[in-house]
Amino acid sequence: MSLKFAAPDTPAIPLHLVAEGGLDPWLAGQTPQVRAWVGAMGFTGAIGRTLVVPDAAGGIAMALGGYGTEASRARARFHLAAIANALPAGTYRVEGLPDAQAATEALGWLLSQYAYERYRDQAPAKARLIAPKGVDAARLEIIAAGEALTRDLINTPAKDLGPAALEADCATNADQQSARMTCVQGEDLLAQNFPLIHTVGRAAEVAPRLIDMTWGDTGPKLTLVGKGVCFDTGGLNLKPGSSMGLMKKDMGGAATVLGLAHMIMALNLPVQLRVLIPAVENAVAGNAFRPGDILTARNGLTVEVNNTDAEGRLVLADALAYGAEDAPDLMISMATLTGAARVALGPDLSPYYTDDPRFAVALEAAAARVADPVWRLPFHTPYEAMIEPGIADLDNAPSGGFAGSITAALFLRRFAGGLNYSHFDIYGWTPTAAPARPKGGVGMGARALLDALPEVLGL
């Protein structure tokens, strides 16, 4: 699949964006035939509605796309993608698109071309777009490719994307971008002091591993850590079937940091990038770790296991402790970590945690610019007592159910080494199809981070 704009010199159909309330001024400049056709067809400029205007030979003279009102546009994202989905095949050149929204709307059109077709042919939008004037088409195509990588990885079932296959996909992407990659797996995890990654993944047929990809030799150090639980049964604390059905997406954090890494490398940002992915399956077997076990992490902290289904924070703990040893300027973890975050914010918002107000300001401004919404939740230090069980340094699953996302984030912060650290507790899935986002895997927070990085890191 190639998410590309049409060449600028391609013959194109004019696509006029018309807002509700703006139809009469637009019609005033049209021929009587066009005015009659638009009136007869009842087009009003309602958001997402389209109208094809025929020419004398029965072809398409132009198309109209409804851009709605400010209030209706606020209820959704990627309005041009909704229009693209409704247009017949062809190449279009959009007119009337506000400059401030041009890049985001053009990206939405590209993303409307995405379909996951590994197992069957799908039907993505067939209408192609010539990039609007003033838009950095190459940058948007790179962002779309990174997002497609994330979606493909999340959508692939664990049968075809276990830890070894995830490692292979990482190696392919590393080769494409001239990055360096190493991998520690199986019993070598114990020899090299990654005990929690080994413990969580040891019951699976495919060995657990830590994937370590680096790129760039100059600039600030940026470390991305992604949860790579390729399937999560819940371990001995088995999930119910209704909760296990989507667990192929439990490596959504890894998929999202890989998509973001692709964007960073393809855009050649001046950073020293590192990507750490603990890749495991949380399976059930005679050697699975147990509730009540006490584990010792890479940094020496002990953890009481009170629920084997809270395994993501365990594998991330070792990876974060390892990443902190290199003292990066910024370390970010992304994980499909808690149901509590979904209950609080739903599937569309990316909850994130940071102790750096400058990071929060930059990220939220970027999120608004690129239509990738985020919402800050607190590293609420008084809740630290909730993750301290007494018998060990930390509890991986505090009882009571309160503040589940916050306590998970506080747990992870204990392994970040006091660095400038941010954590994203994402969902990674679109439950109902929306413009530019078919039902299935989706990146969350990556585009906002990409846009914020120059300010955050002083690039």
Distance (Å, rounded) from C-alpha 447 to C-alpha 370? 7
Distance (Å, rounded) from C-alpha 275 to C-alpha 252? 14
Mean pLDDT of 46-50: 96
Residue with tokens 């819940």: 234
Supply the pLDDT for residue 279: 98
Query: What residues have CB less than 8 Å from 413, skipping those under 6 apart?
Result: 353, 379, 421, 423
Distance (Å, rounded) from C-alpha 68 to C-alpha 49? 9
Distance (Å, rounded) from C-alpha 55 to C-alpha 190? 71
Mean pLDDT of 352-376: 98
Specify the 3-state DSSP secondary structure of 208. coil
Specify the 3-state DSSP secondary structure of 168. helix
How distant, in Å, are the alpha carbons of 139, 215, 296 from that of 60? 31, 48, 68
How distant, in Å, are the alpha carbons of 184, 212, 322, 367 from that of 188? 6, 14, 15, 40
Mean pLDDT of 68-86: 95
Express each pLDDT in 169-216 by its tens digit.
999 999 999 999 999 999 999 999 999 999 999 999 999 999 999 999
Helix (H) or strand (E) holding 330: strand 330-335
Instruction: Find the catalytic residue in 313, 342, 437, 447.
Output: 313
Helix axes 163-176, 252-266, angle to 10 degrees: 10
Supply the pLDDT for residue 163: 98
Whole-number mean pLDDT of the chain?
Answer: 97
Q: Are 164 and 208 in contact (CB under 8 A)?
A: no
Question: Residue 420 has which token pair?
Answer: 């400038």
Distance (Å, rounded) from C-alpha 42 to C-alpha 50? 11
* Number of other residues whose CB lies within 10 A of the CB of residue 52: 18
Specify the 3-state DSSP secondary structure of 143. helix
Supply the pLDDT for residue 1: 62
Q: What is the DSSP string of 259-270?
A: HHHHHHHHTT-S
Supply the pLDDT for residue 342: 96
Q: Name the band, by pLDDT with cuts 50, 70 and 90, for residue 126.
A: confident
Supply the pLDDT for residue 124: 73
Instruction: Find the catalytic residue in 73, 239, 369, 376.
Output: 239
Q: Is the pLDDT of residue 363 over 90?
A: yes
Distance (Å, rounded) from C-alpha 93 to C-alpha 12? 6
Q: Is the pLDDT of residue 131 over 80?
A: yes
Q: Name the band, by pLDDT with cuts 50, 70 and 90, for residue 400.
A: confident
Express each pLDDT in 244-275 by its tens digit.
999 999 999 999 999 999 999 999 999 999 99
Task: Characterize the bridge pairing of strands 90-95 and 127-129.
Answer: parallel
Mean pLDDT of 94-101: 95
Q: Walk across the sheet containing 13-19 and list its strands.
A: 50-54, 60-68, 13-19, 90-95, 127-129
Q: Name the band, by pLDDT with cuts 50, 70 and 90, for residue 132.
A: very high
Distance (Å, rounded) from C-alpha 436 to C-alpha 434? 6
- pTM for the model stands at 0.97
221 annotated active-site = no
Using CB atoms within 10 Å of the CB of residue 416, give its burial: 0 to 12 exposed, 13 to 18 middle, 19+ buried: buried
Beta bridge partners, 132, equal none
Supply the pLDDT for residue 10: 96
Q: Are 251 and 228 in contact (CB under 8 A)?
A: yes
Specify the 3-state DSSP secondary structure of 165. helix
Domains of the chain: 13-113 (3.40.220.10), 142-457 (3.40.630.10)
In percent, how much of the chain has pLDDT > 70?
100
239 annotated active-site = yes
